[in-house]
């Protein structure tokens, strides 16, 4: 194996998908503790609340108590190099959150076992599903009373449409939590609220020694019955199905009590894929171990500090090795550029990176050269990675220039920010007004800020609220179909779509025009 192959095969790059409060920060922190990157629990959480925020990179980030360093966290564990990409929730949710999922090889889905599948998990899951990447599920907060394990598995299968395989099974829950029956490793992990969880081996019948106190517990027999049931009636563990994203291994545990997290991490490392090949637009495939360096920009973070106009472009390396100072070609305009100002993200701080390989994420300081979706490469072979998908926006605003005399900078700003992928733009059919669409409120705030700071254009934004965007085949369109409850607009490529006021309005429309086919992007 070449040095590059060895290095690439060590990489495991994933994102955690979850609904806010399910425990993403807590589990991330436990993983960083295992990786020896942070020594104390509370470091990442502290950063989230602003206590440890040291970066002055982005005003909005600072205000919100997150920092660019937490966008990508890298650490070593048991001979592997792990990259965790953050997928912000709450008000920080944006198209970037979705695009981040284009840059990972697998995903970890954290679910609150009392709540089950929540809306944000579902949205993020759908993108992982579309990509066909492996998804590993952690059902969290077992130390609290939650829903029945069987019920949770059924919900994952029904709502998300993915098969499940329980890798372990809870022995009680909440105050009655005794431990985990580790189906995969054939052992029992005993739960001790103060930590120091111990293990018991299972005999060939899947039982524990009869003199163990747990054996006398009524909970034990219940667990054996349930495990037998899921093993006989449930799915089989299939590595192929995990790899294609058709089956998710499910782990129960408690991130806060650090119970089941290490076993989860170990199993994850056993099954999760090393960096996978990426397709180009002409259907050829770039292998991660190719000598040629290549990557694509999946996120651009603008600096909100007016004294520092620079931005940071996040690049997923798809093949070869990055070396600081190397020359690459920017595919879009065939320009050659030197990558001298780069950064890599460690869990503790931003560091200048000297080398990185396929699977890693690097941040490139950018003065406006990059756009989301850009391909960069070395070598003579010209290629472009597959187009990043456009996501269906859910929030809309009407936007106009505050100062009518400054139309030129207003138009220029909008065009460029839309092209960069910061926001989506639509035009009203009837009035040709500008309408902006986003998946999260933060995108509008960033848009407004950047219009003012980078284009000297004050904008007025009038909220239109949540809408359901559905595209319609131009052949089927009759402009009279539009109404105040389904606004007719066109996208950047002049494709027509309706913005429905709510689900009721869409259903009503479909009943009235049963032959009209409406589509969402994702
Ligand atoms: P997030 O990043 O997904 O938004 O979730 P986060 O880890 O911040 O966890 C949300 C809340 O759930 C936190 O409580 C956290 O302590 C708690 N939590 C996470 N994992 C577990 C678990 O396994 N068991 C229990 N019982 N609670 C868990 P909080 O009160 O909002 O924050 P804090 O005041 O404890 O920091």
Q: What angle do CA 455, 459, 464 make, to 5 degrees?
A: 135
Residue 38, C-beta contacts closer than 8 angstroms, at least 6 positions apart: 29, 32, 44, 347, 348
pLDDT of residue 306: 61
What 8-state DSSP symbol labels residue 254? Answer: B
Between CA 73 and CA 349 the distance in angstroms is 9
Above pLDDT 90, what percent of the chain?
Answer: 71
Pocket of ligand 1 (CB under 6 A): 18, 20-26, 45, 89, 140-141, 143-144, 254-257
pLDDT of residue 348: 42
Cα distances from 143 to residues 255, 381, 444, in angstroms, run 9, 55, 39
- For the chain, list the domains and their CATH numbers: 3-70+88-181+236-271 (3.40.50.300), 278-377 (3.40.50.300), 395-519 (3.30.70.3280)
Q: What angle do CA 508, 389, 321 make, to 5 degrees?
A: 165
pLDDT digits (tens, 9 = 90+) for 39-95: 555 545 554 544 333 333 344 444 443 344 457 888 899 999 999 998 887 767 889
CB 390 within 8 A of CB 424: yes
Residue 365's pLDDT band (boundaries 50, 70, 90)?
confident
Residue 353's pLDDT band (boundaries 50, 70, 90)?
low
The structure's pTM equals 0.90
pLDDT digits (tens, 9 = 90+) for 387-410: 998 899 999 999 999 988 888 999
Residue 368's pLDDT band (boundaries 50, 70, 90)?
confident
pLDDT of residue 435: 97
For 427, counting Cβ atoms within 10 Å of its Cβ (0-12 exposed, 13-18 middle, 19+ buried), the class is middle
pLDDT of residue 431: 85
CB 173 within 8 A of CB 151: no
pLDDT digits (tens, 9 = 90+) for 415-431: 989 988 889 999 998 88
What are the counts of helices (DSSP H) followed by strands (DSSP E) for the chain? Answer: 14, 31
The larger pLDDT score, comparing residue 167 to residue 212, is at 167
Residue 447's pLDDT band (boundaries 50, 70, 90)?
very high
pLDDT digits (tens, 9 = 90+) for 293-313: 999 999 988 766 666 666 788
Residue 36's pLDDT band (boundaries 50, 70, 90)?
confident
> Closest Cα to atom 34, ligand 1: which residue?
45
Q: Among 21, 84, 87, name the best residue to mutate to test ligand 1's pocket (greatest count of ligand atoms within 8 A of Cβ).
A: 21
Average per-residue pLDDT for the chain: 88
Q: 3-class secondary structure for 324-378?
A: CCEEEEECCCCEEEEECCEEEECCCCEEECCEEECCCEEEEEECCCCCCCCEEEC
Residue 229, C-beta contacts closer than 8 angstroms, at least 6 positions apart: 150
Q: Considering only 210-219, 347-356, 368-377, 508-517, which range has the smallest mean pLDDT? A: 347-356
CB 331 within 8 A of CB 382: yes
Structure tokens at 254: 């408690």
DSSP E strand stretches across 135-240: 135-140, 163-166, 169-171, 179-182, 187-190, 198-201
The larger pLDDT score, comparing residue 397 to residue 341, is at 397
ipTM over 0.90: yes
Q: Closest Cα partner for 60 from 298, 299, 305?
A: 305
Distance 143 CA to ligand 1 centre (A): 12
- Cite the annotated binding site for GTP by residue number: 18-25, 86-90, 140-143
What's the mean pLDDT in 440-469?
93
> Closest Cα to atom 24, ligand 1: which residue?
141
For 338, counting Cβ atoms within 10 Å of its Cβ (0-12 exposed, 13-18 middle, 19+ buried), the class is exposed
pLDDT of residue 62: 45
What's the mean pLDDT in 7-18?
96
Residue 254 alpha carbon, nearest atom of ligand 1: 23
Q: Considering only 39-48, 143-152, 386-395, 511-520, which range has the smallest mean pLDDT? A: 39-48
Q: Dihedral angle at the C-alpha atoms of 493, 495, 501, 507, nearest 10 degrees?
A: -150
């Amino acid at each position: 194996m070449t040095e590059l192959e060895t290095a690439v095969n060590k990489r495991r790059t994933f994102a955690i998908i979850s609904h806010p409060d399910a425990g993403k920060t807590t589990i991330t922190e436990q993983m960083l503790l295992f990786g020896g990157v942070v020594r104390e629990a509370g470091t990442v959480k502290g950063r989230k609340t602003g206590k440890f925020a040291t970066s002055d990179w982005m005003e909005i980030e600072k205000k919100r108590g997150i920092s660019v360093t937490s966008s990508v966290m890298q650490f070593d564990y048991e001979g592997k190099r792990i990259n965790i990409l953050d997928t912000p929730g709450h008000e920080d949710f944006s198209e970037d959150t979705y695009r981040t999922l284009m840059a990972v090889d697998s995903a970890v889905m954290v679910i609150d076992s009392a709540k089950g599948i929540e809306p944000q998990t579902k949205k993020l899951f759908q993108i992982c599903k579309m990509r066909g990447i492996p998804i590993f599920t952690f059902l969290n907060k077992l130390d609290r009373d939650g829903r029945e394990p069987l019920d949770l598995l059924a919900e994952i299968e029904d709502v998300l449409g993915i098969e499940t395989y329980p890798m372990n099974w809870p022995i009680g829950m909440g105050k009655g939590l005794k431990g985990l029956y580790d189906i995969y490793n054939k052992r029992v992990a005993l739960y001790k609220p103060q930590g120091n969880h111990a293990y018991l081996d299972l005999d060939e019948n899947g039982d524990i020694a009869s003199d163990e106190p747990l054996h006398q517990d009524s909970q034990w027999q219940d667990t054996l019955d349930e495990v037998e049931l899921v093993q006989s009636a449930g799915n089989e563990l299939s590595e192929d199905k995990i790899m294609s994203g058709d089956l998710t291994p499910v782990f129960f545990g408690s991130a806060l009590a650090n119970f089941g997290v290490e076993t989860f991490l170990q199993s994850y490392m056993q099954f999760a894929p090393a960096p996978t090949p990426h397709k180009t637009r002409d259907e050829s495939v770039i292998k991660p171990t190719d000598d040629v360096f290549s990557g694509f920009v999946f996120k651009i973070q603008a600096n909100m500090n007016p004294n520092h106009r620079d931005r940071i472009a996040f690049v997923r390396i798809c093949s070869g090795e990055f070396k600081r100072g190397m020359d690459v070609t920017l595919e879009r305009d065939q320009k050659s550029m030197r990558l001298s100002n780069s950064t890599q993200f460690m869990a503790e701080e931003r560091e200048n990176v000297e080398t990185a390989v396929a699977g890693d994420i690097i941040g490139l300081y950018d003065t406006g050269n990059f756009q989301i979706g850009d391909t960069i490469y070395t070598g003579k072979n010209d290629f472009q990675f597959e187009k990043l998908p456009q996501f269906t926006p859910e929030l809309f605003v009407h936007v106009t220039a505050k100062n009518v005399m400054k139309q030129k900078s207003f138009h220029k700003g909008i065009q460029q920010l839309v092209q960069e992928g910061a926001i989506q733009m639509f035009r009203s059919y009837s009035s040709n007004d500008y309408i902006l669409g986003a998946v999260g409120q933060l995108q509008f705030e960033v848009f407004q800020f950047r219009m003012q700071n980078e284009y000297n254009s004050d904008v007025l934004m009038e909220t239109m609220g949540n809408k359901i965007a559905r595209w319609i085949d131009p052949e089927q369109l009759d402009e009279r179909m539009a109404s105040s409850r389904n606004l007719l607009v066109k996208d950047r490529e002049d494709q027509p779509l309706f913005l429905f006021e709510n689900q009721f309005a869409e259903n009503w429309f479909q009943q009235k025009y049963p032959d009209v086919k409406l589509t969402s992007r994702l």
